[in-house]
Amino acid sequence: MARIIIRALPYITGEKDILYVESDIRTRVLDYNNIPVDLRPYVCQAYQLGILVGGTDGRFQPNDGLTRASAAAVVHKMLDPAERTVYVTELTQFWSDEEFEEYVRKNEEDLFCIAKIEGRKIYWRSIYDKTPTLLDETGAPGINDILYDYVKHMLYYAIKNGVDFWVSYNGDMLTISYDIRQMNTWYGDIDLTIYSKPQYNYYAKTYAPGKQKTPSKYQWHLTALRDGDYLTRQGWQPGNDRTKIKWTQEKHTEVFRQACIDLYGPVQGNLFYEFVFPKYYARFLYDPWEDSYFGLVPGTNIEVAYYYSDENRVTHTQFWTTVPGVRR
């Protein structure tokens, strides 16, 4: 029922890509873990909108059917948003488009590469050519619309969590960085790079030649999704059992999840996150560690090229992906 609702809404009310914070909804829905993983994005969106929220006991009851009366109430809420009790989260409360754009205008010196914003599209400028420029949508349809929400959310989280946010653009590639530890390196801790022309993963090409079949438009670079003192606060010392330490913080992993949702869509974004995060996390548990994957992310039309190897000193966690043919 949740899937039917979310697929139908764009044609009924124009609503799509509903924002939600899964960790918040998980705490409210007592039987959340009983909801099939591939259906959770639909449930979260229907819950967020106040259309389908389960019973008064705090359970969604995913295996139960709807009575005719309940189904009628659901359809009524679909057709008339005024009848809904919308679940308000920090993300949906924070920053209207006007507030976001006002922040960018007031901080233009710190956001040099953002030349201007018009019609919910961000125009970029490079240090070589200061002419305001939209990204070429060849091979990435709708990328300028996608990036408006992507930047708005990442900048919001950076301010909320007290980390750096920066962008770099040179005409050939755009990099958007959420920089937790501010180590003054080439990379932040969540980096998305968008190439003007699709590229092959350099390390995969070098150490696993022929494995990557399709060049990538997007490149993710993940470093440490935790505050600088997070390990010491847990009593970590070199030589301790690595599996006894939590290596990432939820406040930062949720930023990455939202970034995936913004780029690939709510369904595929969640599936991409659930697939790549365990691969990223495994490198903290095992030393030395080597892992790779080439092909489609299960349940999506996103092709990923990933290669990591301590032995070959490929210690940057990078996931190179294609643009999904259909964003959903």
Structure-derived torsion over alpha carbons of residues 96, 102, 105, 111, reported in degrees to the nearest 10 = -40
Mind listing the pLDDT tens digit for each residue in 65-115? 888 888 898 898 898 887 887 776 766 667 889 999 999 999 999 999 999
Q: At what angle do helices 266-285 and 250-264 cross, to 10 degrees?
A: 140
Say if residue 86 is in the same domain as residue 160.
no
Q: Is residue 327 part of a domain?
A: no
Q: For residue 111, give the amino acid letter.
A: L
2-41: b (≥16 Cβ within 10 Å) or e: beebbeebeeeeebebbbbbbebbeeebeebeebeeeebb
Percent of the chain with pLDDT over 90: 70
The residue segments making up the domain with residue 242 are 97-321
Say if residue 175 is in the same domain as residue 229.
yes
Total of domains in the chain? 2
Look up residue 57 and give its two tokens. 């006991």
Say if residue 56 is in the same domain as residue 186.
no
Say if residue 159 is in the same domain as residue 291.
yes
Q: Is residue 328 part of a domain?
A: no
- Alpha carbons 323 and 284: distance in angstroms, whole number: 29
| pLDDT tens for the 328 residues of the chain, in order | 999 999 999 998 888 878 787 877 887 888 999 999 899 999 999 998 899 988 877 889 999 888 888 889 889 889 888 788 777 676 666 788 999 999 999 999 999 999 999 999 999 999 888 899 999 999 999 999 999 999 999 999 999 899 999 999 999 999 999 999 776 667 789 999 999 999 999 999 999 999 999 999 999 999 999 999 999 999 999 889 999 999 999 999 999 999 999 999 988 998 999 999 999 999 999 888 999 999 999 999 999 999 999 999 998 999 999 999 888 8
Q: Is residue 190 part of a domain?
A: yes
Q: Is residue 315 part of a domain?
A: yes
Say if residue 144 is in the same domain as residue 245.
yes
Say if residue 294 is in the same domain as residue 235.
yes
Say if residue 59 is in the same domain as residue 110.
no
Q: For residue 156, give the amino acid letter.
A: Y
At 220, give phi and psi (nearest 5°).
Answer: -100, 140
Q: Is residue 81 part of a domain?
A: yes
Q: Which domain-ending residue is among 36, 68, 93?
A: 93
Look up residue 321 and give its two tokens. 């992906």
Q: What is the residue whose two structure tokens read 């959340």?
A: 32
Look up residue 48 and give its two tokens. 């967020």
Look up residue 289 and give its two tokens. 């560690």
Q: Is residue 326 part of a domain?
A: no
DSSP 326: S
Say if residue 60 is in the same domain as residue 149.
no
Say if residue 81 is in the same domain as residue 101.
no
Q: Is residue 48 part of a domain?
A: yes
